[in-house]
Amino acid sequence: MANWHIGVIGGSGLYTAHALDQAQQINVASAFGDPSAPVTTGLIEGVRFTFLPRHGESHRLAPSDINYRANIDVLKRCGVTDVLALSAIGSLREEMAPGDFVVVDQFIDRTEGRARTFFGPGIVAHVGLADPVCTRLSGYAADAAQTTGARVHRGGCYVAIEGPQFSTRAESRMYRQWGADVIGMTAMPEARLAREAELPYALLAMVTDFDSWKEDGSAVEVAAILAVMQQNVERARETLVQLARTLPPERDPSPIDRALDHAFVTPPELWDRRAAARLDAVAARFVIPASHR
**Catalytic-labelled residue, pool 105, 211, 216, 261:** 211
Q: Containing domain of residue 115, as a range?
A: 84-288
CB within 8 Å of 154: residues ≥ 6 apart: 103, 138, 139, 142
Is residue 1 situated within a structural domain?
Answer: no
Please report, for the domain that includes residue 104, its CATH number: 3.40.50.1580
Is residue 65 situated within a structural domain?
Answer: no
Is residue 62 situated within a structural domain?
Answer: no
Is residue 128 situated within a structural domain?
Answer: yes
pLDDT tens digits for range 92-104: 999 999 999 999 9
Is residue 59 situated within a structural domain?
Answer: no
Using the predicted structure, report yes or no on whether residue 17 has a pLDDT greater than 50.
no
Q: Are strands 201-209 and 82-91 parallel, antiparallel or unpaired?
A: parallel
What is the tally of structural domains in the chain?
1
Who wins on pLDDT, 172 or 289?
A: 172
Min mean pLDDT across 47-51, 180-184, 233-237, 259-263 is at 233-237
Largest CA distance in the chain: 66
Is residue 15 situated within a structural domain?
Answer: no
pLDDT of residue 288: 75
Count CB atoms within 10 A of the CB of residue 7.
27
Is residue 76 situated within a structural domain?
Answer: no
**Catalytic-labelled residue, pool 73, 143, 209, 252:** 209
- Provide the whole-model pTM: 0.94
Is residue 4 situated within a structural domain?
Answer: no
Catalytic-residue membership of 211 = yes
Range 157-173 average pLDDT:
96
